[in-house]
A = this chain, B = another copy of it.
Amino acid sequence: MILTKENRNTIQRKLIWEALKRLNHPTADDVYLAVRENYPNISRGTVYRNLNQIAEKGELQKIPIPSGPDIYDVTLRPHYHIKCRRCKKIYDVEMEDLPDISRYITDKHGFVIENHEIVFQGLCPKCNKNGGYNNE
């Protein structure tokens, strides 16, 4: 018999959740630093454990970022990101909703698809301007 694990409402979890709501799309470390302002003894381990737990329940999106720490987002609507190949910075991307992108998958091996993330890559205006010199 498999039981759902109970989830306790600790102070730490509440503070983490509050930080999540007011931060933009923070990394685990951003959350850690934010919570620590009001609760200096919190540990990174606790932050990571809670973020994973909340994301596991589906109340939080954990978004992996190429060559960088995962970011978290409380808005469950998918939104996308773009990363500059040169300077490695991440930016948000505004995008009309694709008409059910998972429809395009021809073979999904029986997966139940829940969400997706798109990471675009290219050159940001600044890096593009500073010469395309090592582009090819």
Q: Copies per complex?
A: 2
Q: A111 and B106: CB pair below 8 A?
A: no
Query: Interface segment, A23-31, A34-42, A43-51, A123-131?
Result: A123-131
The minimal Cβ–Cβ distance linking A8 to chain B, given in whole angstroms, is 16
> Is A54 an interface residue when CB atoms closer than 8 A count as contact?
no
Q: A105 and B94: CB pair below 8 A?
A: yes
Interface size class of A (residues with CB under 8 A): 35 or more
Cα distance, A82 to B133, chains bound together (Å): 35
In the assembled complex, which residues on chain B have CB atoms less than 8 Å from the CB atom of A91? 109, 111
In-complex Cβ contact of A95 among B58, B80, B96, B104 (8 A): B104
A–B complex contacts, Cβ < 8 Å, 29 sampled: A2-B133, A4-B133, A5-B134, A56-B85, A57-B136, A58-B136, A64-B64, A64-B65, A64-B66, A66-B70, A66-B117, A85-B114, A91-B109, A91-B111, A93-B105, A94-B107, A95-B104, A101-B118, A108-B120, A109-B124, A110-B125, A111-B120, A113-B122, A114-B121, A115-B121, A116-B121, A117-B119, A118-B118, A119-B119
